[in-house]
Every structure is written in C-alpha cells, then in structure tokens.
C-alpha cells in the first residue's frame, strides 16, 4: 500500500476528503520525524515503537573491488512492533 492508497482508505473510514486524510498522514509522519530527530521514542500502543538507534563505526568491503573500507558511525530508525500488530500479522 502506498501513501495515496492509505489516504483513500483513511478518508473512507473517517469520512474525510482525500486531501484532508493526506494532511493527517503528513502531520503524523512529520511529528514522528521531529520526535526521532530529538532522540525521543514514539510509541503507538498496540502498533509499535519507533526509536533512534546508534550504529557504530565498522569495517566493510567494497563489493566491486574487494577493498576494505571504513564505514562511519551513524544513526538509524528502528521499529519494534507491538503485540497487537504481531498477533494480527501471525494469524
């Protein structure tokens, strides 16, 4: 499912216009992004938790040449699904 399809489904369920549903999706994703950039976890009970994770520096390999390269430390986003989401996926 892509964003326009999600907006259409939300619009139908919540009896909103597609434009308004798209604004809601944008607001939600913007707030999740802002919280993660402040290193705050975002927990949606029953759905899951988004959190910022640290990746340490490590040694890698260039697949074309086989040369060893240093990969810098970075931050990434992790998602841990909630119990309800896991249960519905595993049925």
**What Å distances lie between residue 43 and 38, 48, 82, CA to CA?**
15, 6, 9
Domain ranges of the chain: 3-89
Q: Is domain 3-89 in CATH 4.10.520.10, yes or no?
A: yes
CA distances, 2 to each of 6, 8, 24, 25, 83 (Å): 6, 10, 15, 12, 24
Indicate whether this model's pTM tops 0.85: no
Q: What is the tens place of the pLDDT at every residue in 7-64?
A: 999 999 999 999 999 999 999 999 999 999 999 999 999 999 999 999 999 999 999 9
């Amino acid at each position: 499912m892509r964003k326009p399809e999600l907006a259409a489904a939300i619009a139908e369920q919540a009896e909103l216009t597609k434009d308004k549903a798209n604004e809601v999706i944008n607001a939600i994703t913007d707030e999740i992004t802002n919280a993660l950039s402040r290193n705050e976890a975002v927990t949606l009970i029953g759905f899951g938790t988004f959190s910022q994770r640290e990746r340490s520096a490590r040694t890698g390999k260039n697949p074309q040449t086989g040369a060893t390269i240093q990969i810098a430390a970075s931050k990434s986003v992790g998602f841990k699904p909630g119990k309800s989401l896991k249960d519905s996926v595993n049925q």
